[in-house]
Structure 1
Amino acid sequence: MQSQLSFSPQQTTGTLYLVPTPIGNLGDMTYRSVETLKEVDVIAAEDTRNTQKLLNHFEIETPQISFHEHNTQERIPQLVARLTAGESVAQVSDAGMPSISDPGHELVVACIAAEIPVVPLPGANAALTALIASGVSPQPFYFFGFLDRKPKLQRETLAKLVNRPESLIFYEAPHRLAKTLTGLVDGLGGSRQASLCRELTKRHEEFIRGSLDELLAWAKSSDQVRGEFVIIVSGNANPGVDEEAPDFSQLTIEEHVDQLIDQGQKTNEAIKNVAHLRQLKKQEVYQIYHHIEKN
């Protein structure tokens, strides 16, 4: 057990400040965040070039040091040593809250182990900003972030999420939106109510609300699939019951494969998924779809 008093007058070490940065609109930077970035000894930034633009805008002259997923093991001992020596460090990601789908957590854990105070500042966060305007129930919610890009791991994840009653929050890049929505339709069911939230806090901020089927159709036909997306999906109203499992009983195997191809999957991926959903061997589905007679 450990107790932290964030602002103790007897403190001998520096402090790690977790400073959120705007997710689009620079006006969302808080006074406290600006003051903190000016007062600390160094800023640990995910991308120093990106953060420098923010520092220039607010006339902040504090030096930076890079801290990202590829140099974590090297940087953490350096930063902990500086904090132990009495320097204060502000950690920032490119946008939003540090540690939320961004670097930061390992540094926090290391500071806690070294009994260095960790002080979080409130501020911009894409997930909650999207959630409260989505039209989907804001609580309880389950934040997931980015789904795995590998289809098999993504299906396994969604199989674990399908019965959760909480609203689900995902992040996705524009070039992968249609593919991810296809996975959500297959894994959670196309009738789930959801909201696509893009360009949050920016001039072209937009919310597209509807069923997952409708949102997938929009993503495949719209020329506005731009900017980073937050996907909010309603929870399962009947936990423990997979009420949205697609019914393929009326489809032939060929029709089933073609349906997945129409949703954006490649032929071999669709064949593999049909085999998984129907509990058949992939080779068997392949032969049926391509009209290959068994020897």
Structure 2
Amino acid sequence: MPLYLVATPIGNRGDITLRAIEMLKASDLIACEDTRTSKPFLVSLGIDSPLFPYHDHNAEGARPKLLEKLLQGESISLITDAGMPLISDPGYKLVLECQRLQIPYTVIPGASAVLAGLCLSGLPPYPFYFGGFLPNKSKARQDAFRNLKNLPATLVFFESPHRIGASIKDALEVLGNRDAALVREITKKFEEVRHLSLQDLFDSIETNPPKGEMVLLISGEGKDDENSIKEIEKRLKILLKSYSTKEAVSALKDETGKSKKELYALALHLQDKL
């Protein structure tokens, strides 16, 4: 029997698919990250298939047992705590072993925080780069941003509430004040999208700290052509001929999503040349 890679909801339980429910009920075993998280959800759907923990900390020992069961003809569904399996769990190693042993496997698609975040962000949805969770330490985070600095794609990361401010600060340090979005609590009651420049996003977090699960998205190099410095300079030159600096900056802030501080500095620089 094959291995089934089954997506589960990322927030709203109603996002489980009919096919996923059918497959989970029919499985001889369900491999999951945390039985304490998965069991209440599965019970609410009337699913009583046995659970088997499979996560980063036990994967090396648990994987051979799962493969043995598959080779013996058992059907196994692999789920994560929320969303698509393999995205931030050791499931891909199980798939590699299935390929090696010629064990059939397939996917039961569904909710994905990566794709949902892209749809909600207001940033270009393609091409995009998904970087998973950012490193814990500042230097490692800055190195990660530095490696992606010239990538012409929207950058997508998972992040936690207690680190989001530090991560945005490191992004500002390395990438500059790019267009960005913070999408949190996707499909839940308090779903929120903050589409701002990185600087304004950092400021908003300082005054209104976000809670819950979140996706951080940052525009890629070359993806924001309309809001490039040269284009903004052209618009500023035109506006400054008819409006005050404050009025010109206010108009461009709404148009570009850039911070007032950055636009004022650019306007003062241009005025020196006029």
| Fold-level similarity (TM above 0.5) | yes
For residue 242 of structure 2, what is the aligned residue in structure 1? none
For residue 232 of structure 1, what is the aligned residue in structure 2? 217
Identical-pair percentage: 42
For residue 81 of structure 2, what is the aligned residue in structure 1? 94
| Residue 194 (1) aligns with residue 180 (2) | yes
Q: Distance in 2 between matches of 1:132 and 1:48?
A: 30
Amino acid at match of 2:116: T
| Residue 17 (1) aligns with residue 4 (2) | yes
Post-superposition CA distance 1:261-291 (Å, at most 9, x none): xxxxxxxxxxxxxxxxxxxxxxxxxxxxxxx
Within the candidate set 26, 38, 43, 1:39 is matched to 26
Q: Distance in 2 between matches of 1:100 and 1:177?
A: 20
The alignment of Structure 1 onto Structure 2 pairs a total of residues equal to 226
Q: Once superposed, what is the RMSD of the aligned Cα atoms?
A: 1.5
1:171 is paired with a residue whose SS is strand
For residue 215 of structure 1, what is the aligned residue in structure 2? 201
Q: Distance in 1 between matches of 2:88 and 2:57?
A: 14
For residue 84 of structure 1, what is the aligned residue in structure 2? 71
For residue 103 of structure 2, what is the aligned residue in structure 1? 116
**Larger helix share, 1 or 2:** 2
For residue 50 of structure 1, what is the aligned residue in structure 2? 37
Aligned-pair distance for 1:59? Answer: 0.6
Which blocks of at least 5 consecutive residues in structure 2 are unaligned?
230-274
For residue 183 of structure 1, what is the aligned residue in structure 2? 170
Instruction: Note if contact 1:29-1:123 (Cα within 8 Å) is conserved in structure 2.
Output: yes
Which blocks of at least 5 consecutive residues in structure 1 are unaligned?
1-13, 245-295
Q: Distance in 1 between matches of 2:185 and 2:134?
A: 20
Q: Distance in 1 between matches of 2:214 and 2:171?
A: 14
TM-score of the aligned structures, taking structure 1 as reference length: 0.74
Q: Distance in 2 between matches of 1:238 and 1:197?
A: 19
1:144 is paired with a residue whose SS is strand
Q: Distance in 2 between matches of 1:113 and 1:189?
A: 44
| Residue 70 (1) aligns with residue 57 (2) | yes
| Residue 173 (1) aligns with residue 132 (2) | no
Aligned-pair distance for 1:103? Answer: 2.9
Instruction: Note if contact 1:93-1:103 (Cα within 8 Å) is conserved in structure 2.
Output: no
Q: Which runs of 4+ in 1 moved over 6 A?
A: none
Instruction: Note if contact 2:10-2:113 (Cα within 8 Å) is conserved in structure 1.
Output: yes
Post-superposition CA distance 1:45-104 (Å, at most 9, x none): 100110001111101010111111111111111111110010010001100111102231
Aligned-pair distance for 1:159? Answer: 0.9
The 1:36–1:238 alpha-carbon spacing in structure 2 relative to 1, beyond 3 Å, is: closer
1:175 is paired with a residue whose SS is coil
Post-superposition CA distance 1:173-211 (Å, at most 9, x none): 011110111111111112x11110000000110000110
Q: Distance in 2 between matches of 1:102 and 1:126?
A: 14
Q: Distance in 2 between matches of 1:148 and 1:72?
A: 21
Instruction: Note if contact 1:46-1:103 (Cα within 8 Å) is conserved in structure 2.
Output: no
